[in-house]
Amino acid sequence: MSLDKVLSNLYKNYGENPGKMLLHTGTAGWILSCAAQVMAIITNDKIAPEQKTFLIPQEIGDGLINILSFYILTSSVKNLASKAVLNGKIANKAIKGYLEKNKLTDKIGKIDFNIKKTENFAEIKEDFNAFKNGVDVLASTAGSILSCNIVTPILRNEYAAKKQVQANEYLAKRREEKPVAQQPYNRITMQGYQSILKSPGMRV
């Protein structure tokens, strides 16, 4: 695909839909962020191995939950708000006036009603799009605040606590199996962590 085609697609897809862009780029951003944060914990020598056994799964769980909850919650909030504008439940004075003038007020709030598909939509197109973009962007922002800052931290703590118990049990078992001199517990390596992940019940 040529660069111009990519640019034209971006223009068509996101030019009139900034809320969708925030949702898509936000999801991609969380994936990258999760990868970086896991690496930061693994390479931090000042965090004790026992704490790492909590923090690493916490970060992986955080990432997975973050990505899923971000996408599901943000897209739900955005779509509900977006549809509310399309069916006239959320409007400004110009949109309300348009609905009254065209005798469409009885259709307000019906999920199969879409103002954009009405006959004289061109009359308010510009005003409607600007208003809808604003509602979309604010709904996407509200959805991301709800998912990333409230739902995710609560869910990830529950998840990580369970993982810590499993990881500590595994480390304790390994301590029993190996002589003290062979225990490299001053830090947990990526290989070490992966071997923990490969043990039964620790796959994430």
Partner 1 sequence: MVVGCVDMAISAIKNTANKVQQAFYNAMPNFVAGQKADKFYKTAGREISSAENRLILGATALMSQPFIDFYNRTIDEDTRRVAVCRTIAKIIAGTVTGYAVRKGAIKGIQMCSKLPGKDVPKWQTLFTPKDVKKVDTDEFKQYQNALGTFISLGVMLFTNFLIDAPLTKFLTNKLNAKASGGTK
Of 72 and 130, nearer to partner 1 (C-beta) is: 130
Closer CB to partner 1, 133 or 199, in the complex: 133
Counted residue by residue, the chain has a size of 204
Please state, in angstroms and rounded to a whole number, the distance separating the CA atoms of residues 111 and 83. Answer: 8
CB atoms within 10 A of CB 50: 14
100 binds partner 1, rule: CB under 8 A: no
Q: Does 58 bind partner 1 (CB under 8 A)?
A: yes
Site for partner 1 in 126-145 (CB under 8 A): 129-138, 140-141, 144-145
Site string for partner 1, 7-36 (x = CB under 8 A): xx-xx-xxxxxx--xx--xx-xx--xx-xx
Gap between the Cα atoms of 169 and 50, Å rounded: 11
Q: How far is the CB of 130 from partner 1 (least distance, A)?
A: 5
Residue 115 beta carbon to partner 1: minimum distance, rounded to whole angstroms: 14
Secondary structure class of 149 (helix, strand, coil): helix
Binding residue for partner 1, selected from 44, 183, 189, 194, defined by CB under 8 A: 44
Q: By CB under 8 A, is residue 60 in contact with partner 1?
A: no
Q: Which two tokens stand for residue 91?
A: 């409007």
CB 171 within 8 A of CB 49: yes
Tell me if 172 contacts partner 1 by CB under 8 A. no
Nearer to partner 1, 69 or 140 (CB): 140
Size of the site for partner 1 (CB under 8 A): 72
**74 binds partner 1, rule: CB under 8 A:** no
Contacts by 118-126, CB closer than 8 A, 24 or more apart: 123/98, 124/94, 124/95, 124/98
C-alpha distances in angstroms, 129 versus 15, 32, 95, 108, 190? 11, 32, 11, 18, 50
